[in-house]
Amino acid sequence: MGADPGPPRGVLHQRLEQGTFEHARRAPSAALAMLVEHYWYVAWDLRGLPAQQQETLPHPNVHYVIEPGLTAIYGVHSGRYVRMLEGQRRVFGIKFRAGGFRPFYGKAVSTLMDSSMDASTIFGAPASRFEQTILASDSFDAMIDAAETLLLARLPPHDATVAQVSALVADIATDRSITSVEEIAARSGLGKRSLQRLFNEYVGVSPKWVINRYRLHEAVAQLQAGTPIVWSELALQLGYFDQAHFIRDFRKLIGRAPGDYARSQDRH
């Protein structure tokens, strides 16, 4: 398997105030690298402690999640994901690469936005056995091995468009200079409407959504780093026309103004 993909982005509370929390990620094998971004595992132990709220800004990816009572394939979540953590739990997930679930699904990934589906719809009877294996395992490595076996047995025909879409989304995520749909359209060689249809079919959200989400990911990362920030400069750097628009978008998605969020990170 590949190495740890590095620290996650978009997790709004990086530490629990009490209890223990574990988060691990691992890249897939070479045979699945064009379809799967990574496998992930989270576990927490808050027994005897108050429940704690965790919030994330989801990426433009489909996830196959294994958790008692909540196992399903989840489409892109458009808003902030909020989860109350309590008791003791373990969760395993497969994060498909942007565009990587489309060959398994066979239709527009946008039809899964903000919704979920039974995994047996895609993987048949082996999905139930896979869930049982994951829930019975105490080893992240063993969980990954089971996931690889399941996916390789249902490996879809090669789709060259997946690589094109994944590369465009990766460019948006890593290149801070991309702040408009026109810029990504120019890189792709597609017109804006063709680009929007491509993202609707393969990613599940629009290119504008992806750009907005990743520039807010960048804003969160900078605030978490604790470095001094000039709000007007940060807004311009992220492609906003003015500070007011940046604060409005940040507040709408994060649930608080940038300054309030920065102060909450200082307290933690």
Q: Please tell me the predicted confidence (pLDDT) of residue 92.
A: 98
pLDDT of amino acid 266: 63
Question: Does one domain contain both 230 and 125?
Answer: no
Q: For the chain, how many structural domains are there in total?
A: 2
Q: Which of the 8 DSSP states describes residue 33?
A: T
CA 191/CA 30 separation, integer angstroms:
32
Report the C-alpha gap between 75 and 112 in whole angstroms.
5
d(CA 249, CA 253): 6
Average pLDDT per block of 10 residues along the chain, 268 residues long: 66 76 93 97 93 90 97 95 92 98 98 97 97 96 98 96 96 90 92 95 96 92 85 88 91 90 73
Residue 117 lies in a domain: yes
Q: Could you tell me if residue 11 is inside a domain?
A: no
Domain span at 171: 160-267
**Model pLDDT, residue 6:** 63
pLDDT of residue 2: 58
190 shares its domain with 258 = yes
**Cα separation of 11 and 55, whole Å?**
6
Do 36 and 147 sit in the same domain of this protein? yes
Strand-strand pairing, 63-66 and 88-96: antiparallel
What's the pLDDT at 228?
82
**Final residue of a structural domain among 100, 125, 153:** 153
* 76 is a domain residue: yes
Say if residue 128 is in the same domain as residue 44. yes
d(CA 126, CA 53): 34
- Of 125, 153, 181, which one is at a domain's C-terminal end? 153
Q: Please report, for residues 32, 38, 52, the alpha-carbon distance to residue 63 in angstroms, rounded to integers and kept in the order given.
A: 15, 10, 23
CATH code of the domain containing 104: 2.60.120
- Check residue 239 and give its pLDDT: 86
The phi-psi region of residue 48 (left if phi > 0; otherwise alpha if psi is between -120 and 50; otherwise beta) is left
Say if residue 132 is in the same domain as residue 190: no
User: What pTM did the predictor assign?
Assistant: 0.92
